[in-house]
Amino acid sequence: MLIPYLIVRDAKAALDFYCQAFGAEISFEPVIDDQNRVGHSEITLPDGQKVMLADEHPEHQILAPSAGGPEQMFVFQTSDLNAIAGSLEAKGAQVISAVGDDGHGGRAGRFRDPFGYVWIVSDGA
């Protein structure tokens, strides 16, 4: 099992965004440190996959992509591609490439979320 661990500048906002855009649920309540930062939290996507996330902690060289940290891309396969793509856009994700033919017999679109991560949303075909 591979579990993505996202580092963001505003983990509370990211939790809200991912829950609304992907239909995820918080499965591990945020651990808040003495600076009101999320030290750890987890969400579960509708298909049961887990994603962990936390606020950046520059004092430990843990940086979000928007602060010069490493950029990752994630593939989210869904049977409800149009709804998820529409939700991402409605919640503020930047459309990098609109949903269309992915050249491999399926459909996909690419989005950059407000926290700097790129999501390839695909029908999995």
Which pLDDT tens digit goes with each residue over 6-19?
Answer: 999 999 999 999 99
Q: Kindly give the residue spans of alpha helices, DSSP state H, lying in the chain.
A: 11-22, 81-90
pTM, two decimals, is 0.78
Measured at the alpha carbon of residue 79, what is the angle toward residues 121 and 24, in degrees to the nearest 5? 70
Q: Say what percent of the chain tops pLDDT 90.
A: 66
Q: How confident is the model at residue 108 (pLDDT cuts 50, 70, 90)?
A: very high
Between 71 and 31, the more confident residue is 31
Domains held by the chain: number: 1
Give 31: exposed, middle or buried? Use CB within 10 Å, 0-12, 13-18, 19+: exposed
Please give the structure tokens belonging to residue 64.
Answer: 């979000």
The domain containing residue 69 runs over which residues?
Answer: 5-122
CATH number at residue 59: 3.10.180.10
Q: How confident is the model at residue 1 (pLDDT cuts 50, 70, 90)?
A: low
